[in-house]
């Protein structure tokens, strides 16, 4: 007889989400529902009627961790709709921005994920805020990597958070040779730090993989060798940057995308029948609590070729670099392996960048209402924005952000894990929930969903 | 009044020791020389100054990162140069870490306010390394200065060599040696109305403030105001950048500065008070009184 556990809210990630888990007598998850409970932002509706220059700036406000990815995806889907090619130097600075974003986001995720891990050779969990070595120097390295990522973003993008410099047609301002030099020096400084950080993280993650148990809420929970395994596919549009409908060989296809309502995807009303008050941060929800994932989920469920897919570092590695390790640890390791790539790409882009080149397209068409899309590889995965622009105004706008893609995939990956380790699996996806929250109202059928949720 | 000159650590009459700077400077070449010294010593790595633009005597804020660039901005252009608008960009696409800025008293107020409440100024406030203020009675729009020069003084803008306000007159010197003077009474109606609520003549909030008033021709009066300003100023003196004279020993001296500052403050105080009852039940807020 299966029991129901609810972990609400889940912790150490961005946004608000919860886990509703059906578990067997041994506490192994039979079905897991991971859902966003962050209130709907409504950016897609706000966008309608606004100018194509405004919308990417508004879209970036869904989240402060990867605003760069949202800005760039927003801008590039506008450019895709109006069919505007940007100058090479503008593209290079956008690539620099993209990598800076990925660098500081991955470093932040290290802080969130380390408390689940153990210092190799000991039974001591890592507290990244500890003043003691060896953790202290790791924390300092993380902070410096984040600082460098944000400073490079600030120089190339105008702001560390919510970049002001990118615009439809290119960028407002080019970087001076001095600014390029500064970014270059920062990237050079970060490169050895990033490699050290990658090595450290991989050692810690491999150590976790070899362990038999992990301590959660005072109990030793066995770690299955297949923690976080799933059989879903992977989706990535580009190893580092982005693909759009203007590309000769687009890395994403809107024809293959469909949406399912949360009503059809998540389980219906259940009552919590298993509780553990000793579970970290206040225990799980008490027995008798009603949970209704169908009604509470604030995301649509996007499918690619009719099935949920994983997006993120591992998806990029699988698609473009023949990476094949499954499970939560495999996913985490893929993320660490992206560290040096971010910096090599920044350095190469700055080498190619010409400070006296133009960064704005000579002609910016105003659009005829045709569909444009951009699939930006944000730190957490493929961030697809779609738009239709006519006479400079946005007619239709859609955001399919990384964690939206990952919600159903991660729910499947939970199966087979002890419920106490469900959050470890969730954190492996580096979830960033607030941008993932939106409702899709495409046709009459789906309008009923919206009404149901409002009731 | 006693507070009209603001707080300062020292006041001297000074001029640059560089002939190159003095050749085209307005008075003692203080701003150019101090920025040049700070640039060479690495105290700042760029300065936002009022540089030349496509139109004669229309200033355009620009970021000088070398002494050569700085030299193009020598001399006063009597109209608005929105220097503060470039301060953020200086730390962004220009990649500066230590920014110098020159401005009028109101611009110094903006800089300090930005440092105190850095909304939209992330990583900008800590990068302002030297703020030089210039004495200011009032400012003009470019259209106003053009009308004064071309219509009242009858000189084409292109042939102006230098403009000056001093000894109660507005002076226009031409390339061919002619000098035209206009009584300041003529210029009053061209002043920006916004200047008439300003109660600061000598840039109280700057690190170092300077202007011609109080010193003989070719010299400038310098107030050293902050610890940072004092530090840079004394190093520049030690490096032999400036000739100085004690302000007490020069004519007309601080008395004139005080007199003009008081004149500005009491005149503008009236406008501030008038505005309190301006409009129909919609008094404008007095910016100097807490609501």
Residues A168-222: tens digit of each pLDDT? 999 999 999 999 999 999 999 999 999 999 999 999 999 999 999 999 989 999 9
* Binary contact (B93, A179; C-beta < 8 A): yes
Q: What would the pLDDT profile of A114-168 be if each residue is shown by its tens digit?
A: 999 999 999 999 999 999 988 999 999 999 999 999 999 999 999 999 999 999 9
Same domain flag for B148 and B130:
no
Asked if residue A356 lies in contact with residue A45, where contact means CB atoms within 8 angstroms, the answer is no
Residue B41 lies in a domain: yes
CA nearest to A184 within chain B? B95
Q: Chain A interface residues facing chain B, Cβ-Cβ under 8 Å?
A: 151, 154-156, 158-161, 165, 173-176, 178-183
* Binary contact (A155, B93; C-beta < 8 A): yes
Radius of gyration (C-alpha) of chain A in whole angstroms:
22
* Binary contact (A179, B92; C-beta < 8 A): yes
Same domain flag for B228 and B100:
yes
CA nearest to A173 within chain B? B93
Residue B63 pLDDT > 50: yes
Residue B237 lies in a domain: yes
Same domain flag for B79 and B213:
yes
* Binary contact (A173, B65; C-beta < 8 A): no
Asked if residue B124 lies in contact with residue B113, where contact means CB atoms within 8 angstroms, the answer is no
How many structural domains comprise chain A? 1
Q: Which of B63, B65, B83, B69 has the alpha carbon at shortest distance from B134?
A: B83
* Binary contact (B94, A178; C-beta < 8 A): yes
Q: What is the pLDDT of residue A101?
A: 96
Task: Give CA separation, A380 vs A57, A235, A245, A428, in Å.
Answer: 20, 12, 21, 10
DSSP A256: G
Same domain flag for B105 and B121:
yes
For testing the chain A interface, which of B44, B92, B98 should be mutated: the one with the most A CBs within 10 Å? B92
**A314 membership: H or E segment, kind and range:** helix A313-321
Higher pLDDT, A342 or B168: A342
CA distance A333 to A204: 10
Q: Name the pTM for this structure.
A: 0.90
Q: Single out the residue in B163, B190, B217 at which a domain terminates.
A: B190
**Domain extent for B208:** 10-137+195-275
Residue A446 pLDDT > 50: no
Identify the CATH number of the domain in which residue A280 sits.
Answer: 1.10.645.10
Same domain flag for B110 and B17:
yes
Q: Which of these ranges, B119-123, B234-238, B270-274, has the smallest mean pLDDT?
A: B270-274
Residue A452 pLDDT > 90: no
- Distance, in angstroms, between B94 CA and closest chain A CA? 5
Average pLDDT over residues A292-297: 86
* Residues of chain B neighbouring A179 (CB-CB closer than 8 A): 92-95
Same domain flag for B167 and B87:
no
Average pLDDT over residues B251-273: 92
Q: Single out the residue in B123, B155, B190 at which a domain terminates.
A: B190
Same domain flag for B162 and B127:
no
Q: Chain B interface residues facing chain A, Cβ-Cβ under 8 Å?
A: 45, 65, 89, 91-97, 122-123
The minimal CB distance from A160 to the residues B45, B89, B122 is found for: B122
Residue B73 lies in a domain: yes
Same domain flag for B119 and B146:
no
CA distance A428 to A330: 9
Q: What is the pLDDT of residue A447?
A: 43
Same domain flag for B126 and B227:
yes
* Residues of chain B neighbouring A181 (CB-CB closer than 8 A): 95
Residue B163 pLDDT > 80: yes
| Helices first, then strands: H and E counts in chain B | 9, 11
Average pLDDT of chain B, as a whole number: 91
How many structural domains comprise chain B? 2
DSSP B248: G
Q: What is the pLDDT of residue A449?
A: 45
* Binary contact (A160, B94; C-beta < 8 A): no
Task: Match 């070449």 to its residue by tokens.
Answer: B29
- Distance, in angstroms, between B7 CA and closest chain A CA? 35
* Binary contact (A180, B65; C-beta < 8 A): no
Same domain flag for B204 and B178:
no
First to last CA, chain B: 24
CA nearest to A179 within chain B? B95
Residue B288 lies in a domain: no
- Distance, in angstroms, between B62 CA and closest chain A CA? 13
- Distance, in angstroms, between B97 CA and closest chain A CA? 10
* Binary contact (A160, B95; C-beta < 8 A): no
Average pLDDT over residues A249-270: 89
Same domain flag for B114 and B204:
yes
Residue B66 lies in a domain: yes
**Domain extent for A409:** 3-454
Q: What is the pairing mode between strands B208-211 and B128-134? A: parallel
Residue B219 lies in a domain: yes
Task: Give CA separation, B227 vs B44, B53, B111, B217, in Å.
Answer: 16, 34, 17, 29
SS3 B160: strand
Same domain flag for B103 and B169:
no
CA distance B242 to B225: 17
Q: What is the pLDDT of residue A453?
A: 45
* Residues of chain A neighbouring B91 (CB-CB closer than 8 A): 154
Quickly state the pLDDT bin for A63 (edges 50, 70, 90): confident
Task: Match 């706008």 to its residue by tokens.
Answer: A397
Please report the ipTM that was assigned to this predicted complex: 0.85
* Residues of chain B neighbouring A155 (CB-CB closer than 8 A): 92-93, 95
Q: What share of chain B is helix, strand, coil (3-state, %, to 5)?
A: 35, 20, 40
């Amino acid at each position: 007889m299966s029991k129901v556990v609810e972990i609400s809210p889940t912790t150490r990630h961005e946004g608000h989400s919860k886990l509703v888990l059906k578990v067997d007598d041994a506490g192994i998850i039979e079905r897991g529902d991971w859902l966003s409970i962050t209130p709907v932002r409504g950016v897609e509706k706000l966008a309608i009627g606004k100018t194509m220059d405004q919308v990417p700036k508004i879209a970036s406000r869904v989240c402060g961790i990867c605003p760069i990815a949202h800005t760039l995806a927003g801008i590039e889907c506008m450019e895709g709709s109006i069919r505007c090619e940007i100058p090479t130097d503008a593209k290079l600075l956008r690539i620099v921005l993209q990598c800076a974003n990925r660098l500081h986001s991955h470093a932040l995720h290290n802080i969130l994920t380390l408390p689940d891990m153990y210092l190799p050779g000991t039974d001591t969990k890592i507290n990244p805020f500890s003043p003691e070595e060896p953790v202290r120097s790791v924390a300092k390295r993380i902070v410096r990597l984040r600082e460098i990522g944000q400073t490079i973003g600030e120089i190339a993008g105008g702001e560390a958070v919510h970049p002001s410099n990118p615009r439809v047609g290119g960028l407002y301002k080019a970087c001076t040779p001095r600014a390029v030099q500064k970014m270059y020096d920062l990237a050079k400084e970060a490169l050895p730090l990033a490699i050290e950080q990658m090595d450290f993280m991989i050692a810690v993650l491999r150590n976790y993989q070899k362990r038999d148990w992990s301590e959660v809420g005072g109990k030793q929970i066995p770690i299955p060798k297949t923690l976080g395994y799933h059989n879903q596919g992977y989706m990535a549009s580009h190893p580092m940057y982005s693909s759009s409908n203007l590309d000769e060989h687009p890395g994403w296809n809107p024809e293959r995308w469909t949406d399912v309502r949360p009503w059809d995807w998540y389980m219906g009303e259940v009552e919590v029948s298993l509780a553990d008050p000793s579970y970290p941060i206040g225990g799980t929800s008490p027995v008798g609590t009603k949970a209704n994932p169908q009604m509470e989920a604030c995301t649509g469920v996007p499918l690619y070729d009719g099935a949920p897919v994983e997006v993120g570092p591992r998806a990029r590695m699988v698609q473009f670099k023949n990476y094949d390790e499954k499970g939560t640890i495999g996913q985490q390791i893929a993320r660490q392996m992206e560290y040096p790539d971010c910096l090599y790409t920044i350095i190469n882009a700055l080498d190619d960048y010409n400070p006296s080149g133009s960064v704005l397209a000579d002609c910016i068409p105003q659009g005829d209402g045709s569909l444009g899309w951009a699939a930006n590889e944000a730190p957490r995965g493929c961030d697809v924005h779609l738009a239709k622009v006519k006479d400079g105004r946005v007619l239709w706008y859609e955001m399919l952000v990384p964690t939206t893609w990952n919600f159903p995939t991660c729910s499947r990956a939970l199966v087979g894990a002890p419920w106490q380790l469900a959050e470890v699996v969730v954190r492996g996806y580096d979830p960033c929930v607030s941008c993932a929250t939106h409702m899709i109202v495409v046709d009459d059928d789906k309008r009923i969903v919206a009404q149901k949720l409002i009731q | 009044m006693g507070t009209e000159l603001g707080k300062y650590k020292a006041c001297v009459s000074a001029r640059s020791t560089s002939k190159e700077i003095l050749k085209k400077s307005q008075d003692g070449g203080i701003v150019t020389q101090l920025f040049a010294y700070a640039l060479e010593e690495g105290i700042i790595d760029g300065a936002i100054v009022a540089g030349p633009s496509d139109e004669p005597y229309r200033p355009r804020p620009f970021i000088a990162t070398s002494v050569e660039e700085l030299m193009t901005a020598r001399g006063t252009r009597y109209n608005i140069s929105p220097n503060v608008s470039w301060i953020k960009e200086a730390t962004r696409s220009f990649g500066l870490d230590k920014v110098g800025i020159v401005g009028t008293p109101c611009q110094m107020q903006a800089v300090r306010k930005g440092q105190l409440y850095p909304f939209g100024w992330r990583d900008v406030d800590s990068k302002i390394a030297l703020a030089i203020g210039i004495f200011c009675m009032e400012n003009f729009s470019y259209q106003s200065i053009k009308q004064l020069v071309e219509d009242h003084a009858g000189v084409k803008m292109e042939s102006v060599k230098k403009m000056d306000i001093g000894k109660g007159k507005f002076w226009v010197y031409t390339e061919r040696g002619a000098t035209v003077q206009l009584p300041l009474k003529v210029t009053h109606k061209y002043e920006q109305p916004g200047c008439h609520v300003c109660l600061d003549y000598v840039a109280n909030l700057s690190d170092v403030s300077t202007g011609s008033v109080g010193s003989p021709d070719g010299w400038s009066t310098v107030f050293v105001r902050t610890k940072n300003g004092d530090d840079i100023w004394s190093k520049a003196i030690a490096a032999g950048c400036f000739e100085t004279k004690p302000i007490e020993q020069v004519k007309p001296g601080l008395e004139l500065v005080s007199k003009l500052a008081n004149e500005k403050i009491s005149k503008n105080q009236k406008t501030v008070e008038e505005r309190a009852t301006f409009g129909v039940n919609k008094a404008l807020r007095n910016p100097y009184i807490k609501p």
